[in-house]
């Protein structure tokens, strides 16, 4: 295709990806502040808090360990999936329209940008026919694993820097002499790796593992000229050295800094792929079956649901094109990552077996110990996209009899996996007390407002109140990972203080407590510990009456301010 005719086709492909992402998320758009992803509202509240916190950088007050959540001890952002890069990039949008709008844009934007990135890599760098590039890019962006992770796992769908990283590696692999181009590509690679660390560290880890296995298999199959080795190794070395230098402090802070935590908080066996899930179709796909939900830990982890038709197409393509090193390396790496995704023990159709999986060999290793096995399957998505793109390219450009049959077969295998719109449900918008600034009369800038009841990992919704102020107020407790397990190990959330426990009991039971002198003494200690300025209750809480009666017993009659009840801390 002539260069003058490429741009309109590429622009059209990009618009298709954007349209597909918009349709997938369209149910959020009638009012992002009053809508929430039905499958994962808790993580959405957490993501919105992180996005709002990033706006503090525009006020010159952004730190990687902050006391604005889990006040006063704080949270280590790098020990959490804190969306630092996306939050900083989108801060102007958040300041102008609020964190819910930014969140909704990122749910769609991550998928669209990832698809565009892979499409351009296939079409312009690898020389794939546009039809193959389009199908490969569409699968890389909208595979069931990517769609399910879109349920408030923005750090997992932010994979749009991976194609440029791969582009750097491909560029190095095509050099036969060490030149300034080698150094420039290495520097760019290091910069992209550093940026991806702050955009989505887990995606960077999966990309590194995938590229390492792929490169080894590709080198064994292609047996490249020895002249390729020096520039390739030098370029990778420059990239790794630059990334190591830039990330030395962040990595120390993540693993050894304040509020860091050792070990993982999620058990690998619980987050492992069921062998039967590979041939199943996700309930979030066009041909999905709700009964397949039993094969996963939750609706955000349909990472392996490729369906039998696509796997058969991939197998047939690999058999046909096994002499192509890129196809062979993609297939072998897919098998390796899929085996790791099975976790420490093999499970078949929701039935555990006594067969140990390859992941068991990695148990206890640093970093790996906190990895979720099933997410290794996310690394197979671009590999299968490579196979899809290459087989369509080969059929169209190299044969007469298959140039129509193969694209039709590939499309037929992909159509059942096409995503349906993400389900949403209504939620109460943040109170006007926060969105319109009334909180300033009761709490100083960066002061602590205690929600009634306090947010915790089971119900972090009140974290949205601080997000609505662009995190100009601090919140005790919350949903985060910190060193609150046994011996300082990683745990989700913090053990609640006595006042928090009292309010949680009332919120759960719906029966007001009659505070004792012991409760008031505990309250005084908790107020001093939190450095609380005020307590706030949203009357829309299901048990608001019992909670207000309890708070009145603790602190005296509350004040009705706009749409909330407020108690000044003693």
Rounded CA gap, 334 and 328, in Å? 10
Predicted local confidence at residue 12, as pLDDT = 95
Predicted local confidence at residue 263, as pLDDT = 75
Cα 146 to its chain centre, rounded Å, is 9
**What one-character-per-residue DSSP string does 344-387 give?**
SEEEETTEEEEEEPGGGGGTT-TTGGG--GGGGGGGHHHHHHHH
Per-residue pLDDT of the chain (570 residues; tens, 9 = 90+): 555 578 889 999 999 999 999 999 999 999 999 999 999 999 999 999 999 999 999 999 999 999 999 999 999 999 999 999 999 999 999 999 999 999 999 999 999 999 999 999 999 999 999 999 999 999 999 999 999 999 999 999 999 999 999 999 999 999 988 899 999 999 999 999 999 999 999 999 999 999 999 999 999 999 888 899 999 999 999 999 999 999 999 999 999 999 998 877 777 777 899 999 999 999 999 999 899 999 999 999 999 999 999 999 999 999 999 999 999 999 999 999 999 999 999 999 999 998 999 988 877 666 666 678 999 999 999 999 999 999 999 999 988 888 899 999 999 999 999 999 999 999 999 999 999 999 999 999 999 999 999 999 999 999 999 999 999 999 999 999 999 998 888 999 999 999 999 999 999 999 999 999 999 999 999 999 999 999 999 999 999 999 999 999 999 999 999 999 999 998
Residue 24 CA: distances (Å) to CA of 105, 107, 412: 12, 9, 20
Nearest alpha-carbon partner for 147 in 51, 233, 23: 23
Count the Cβ atoms, other than its own, within 10 Å of residue 445. Answer: 11
Rounded CA gap, 151 and 202, in Å? 16
User: What pTM was estimated for this model as a whole?
Assistant: 0.95
Rounded CA gap, 319 and 322, in Å? 5
Phi, psi of 265 (to 5 degrees): -105, -10
Q: On the CB side of 96, how many CA atoms lie within 13 Å of its CA? A: 5
Predicted local confidence at residue 523, as pLDDT = 97
Burial of 350 (0-12, 13-18, 19+ CB in 10 A): exposed
Q: On the CB side of 228, how many CA atoms lie within 13 Å of its CA? A: 11
Report yes or no: 369 and 332 within 8 Å, Cβ to Cβ: no
Phi, psi of 219 (to 5 degrees): -65, -40
Nearest alpha-carbon partner for 228 in 162, 165, 170: 170
Report yes or no: 35 and 27 within 8 Å, Cβ to Cβ: yes
Q: Is the peptide bond before 536 cis (omega within 30 degrees of 0)?
A: no
Predicted local confidence at residue 2, as pLDDT = 53
**What one-character-per-residue DSSP string does 256-294 give?**
HSTT--BS-SS-TTTT---GGGGGSB-TTBTT--GGGGG
Report yes or no: 356 and 346 within 8 Å, Cβ to Cβ: yes
Rounded CA gap, 249 and 227, in Å? 36
Q: How many helices (H) and strands (E) does the chain have?
A: 21, 12
Q: On the CB side of 185, how many CA atoms lie within 13 Å of its CA? A: 23
Q: Which two tokens stand for residue 570?
A: 């003693």
Q: What are the residues facing 352 on neighbouring strands?
A: 347
Close Cβ partners of 557 (under 8 Å, ≥ 6 residues apart): none
Helix (H, G, I), strand (E, B) or coil at 46: helix
Rounded CA gap, 33 and 538, in Å? 16
Cα torsion 70, 75, 79, 82 to 10°: value is: 90
Nearest alpha-carbon partner for 323 in 440, 254, 221: 221
Count the Cβ atoms, other than its own, within 10 Å of residue 399. Answer: 12
Helix (H, G, I), strand (E, B) or coil at 412: helix
Q: On the CB side of 252, how many CA atoms lie within 13 Å of its CA? A: 5
Name the residue with tokens 């760019």: 188
Phi, psi of 262 (to 5 degrees): -95, 150
Rounded CA gap, 378 and 370, in Å? 16
Predicted local confidence at residue 99, as pLDDT = 98
Q: Which two tokens stand for residue 275?
A: 């062998």
Helix (H, G, I), strand (E, B) or coil at 475: strand
Q: Which two tokens stand for residue 556?
A: 């005296």
Close Cβ partners of 409 (under 8 Å, ≥ 6 residues apart): 313
Nearest alpha-carbon partner for 516 in 554, 475, 559: 554
Rounded CA gap, 66 and 258, in Å? 10
Rounded CA gap, 181 and 175, in Å? 9
Rounded CA gap, 15 and 11, in Å? 6
Domain boundaries, the chain: 7-36+98-417, 432-486+496-568
Count the Cβ atoms, other than its own, within 10 Å of residue 355. Answer: 11
Nearest alpha-carbon partner for 359 in 384, 376, 382: 376
Close Cβ partners of 523 (under 8 Å, ≥ 6 residues apart): 498, 499, 515, 554, 555
Nearest alpha-carbon partner for 273 in 144, 364, 387: 144
Cα diameter, the chain:
88
Report yes or no: 338 and 375 within 8 Å, Cβ to Cβ: no
């Amino acid at each position: 295709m002539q260069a003058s005719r490429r741009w309109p086709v590429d622009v059209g492909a990009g618009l298709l990806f954007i349209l597909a992402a918009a349709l997938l998320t369209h149910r959020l758009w009638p009012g992002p502040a009053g809508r929430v992803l039905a499958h994962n509202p808790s993580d959405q509240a957490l993501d919105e808090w992180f996005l709002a916190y990033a706006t503090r950088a525009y006020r010159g007050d952004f730190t990687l360990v902050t006391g604005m959540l889990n006040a006063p001890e704080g949270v280590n952002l790098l020990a959490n999936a804190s969306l630092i890069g996306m939050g900083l990039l989108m801060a102007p949008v958040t300041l102008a329209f609020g964190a819910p709008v930014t969140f909704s844009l990122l749910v769609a934007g991550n998928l669209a940008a990832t698809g565009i990135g892979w499409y351009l890599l296939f079409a312009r760098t690898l020389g794939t026919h546009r039809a193959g590039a389009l199908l490969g890019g569409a699968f890389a962006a909208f595979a069931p694993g990517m769609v399910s992770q879109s349920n408030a796992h923005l750090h997992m769908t932010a994979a749009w820097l991976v194609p440029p990283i791969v582009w750097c590696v491909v560029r190095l692999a095509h050099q036969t002499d060490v030149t300034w181009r080698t150094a420039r590509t290495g520097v760019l690679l290091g910069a992209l790796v550093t940026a991806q660390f702050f955009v989505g560290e887990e995606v960077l880890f999966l990309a590194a593992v995938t590229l390492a296995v792929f490169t080894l298999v590709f080198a064994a199959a292609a047996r490249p000229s020895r002249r390729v080795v020096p520039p390739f190794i030098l370029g990778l070395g420059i990239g790794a050295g630059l990334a190591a230098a830039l990330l030395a402090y962040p990595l120390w802070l993540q693993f050894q800094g304040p509020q860091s935590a050792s070990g993982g908080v999620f058990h690998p066996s619980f987050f492992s792929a069921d062998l039967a899930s590979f041939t199943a179709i996700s309930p979030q796909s066009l041909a999905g079956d709700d009964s397949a939900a039993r094969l996963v830990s939750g609706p955000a982890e349909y990472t392996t649901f490729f369906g039998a038709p696509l796997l058969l197409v991939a197998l047939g393509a690999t058999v046909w094109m096994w002499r192509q090193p890129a196809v062979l390396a993609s297939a072998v790496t897919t098998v390796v990552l899929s085996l790791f995704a099975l976790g420490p023990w093999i499970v078949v159709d929701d039935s555990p077996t006594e067969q140990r999986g390859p992941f068991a060999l990695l148990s206890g290793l640093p970093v790996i110990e906190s990895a979720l096995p099933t997410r290794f399957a996310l690394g197979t998505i671009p590999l299968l996209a490579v196979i899809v793109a290459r087989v369509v390219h080969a059929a169209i450009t190299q044969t007469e009899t298959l140039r129509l049959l193969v694209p039709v077969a590939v499309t037929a295998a992909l159509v059942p996996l096409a995503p349906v719109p993400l389900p949403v449900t209504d939620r109460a918008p943040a109170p006007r007390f926060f969105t319109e600034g009334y909180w300033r009369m009761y709490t100083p800038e960066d002061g602590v407002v205690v929600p009634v009841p306090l947010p915790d990992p089971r119900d972090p919704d009140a974290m949205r109140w601080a997000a609505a102020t662009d995190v100009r107020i601090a919140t005790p407790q919350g949903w985060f990972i910190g060193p609150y397990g046994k011996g300082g190990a990683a745990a989700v959330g913090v053990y609640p203080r006595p006042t928090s426990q009292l309010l949680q009991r009332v919120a759960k039971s719906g029966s007001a407590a009659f505070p004792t002198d012991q409760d008031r003494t505990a309250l005084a200690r908790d107020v001093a510990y939190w450095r609380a300025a005020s307590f706030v209750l949203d009357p829309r809480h299901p048990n608001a009456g019992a909670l207000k009666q309890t708070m009145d017993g603790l602190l005296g009659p509350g004040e009705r301010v706009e749409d909330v009840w407020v108690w000044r801390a003693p």
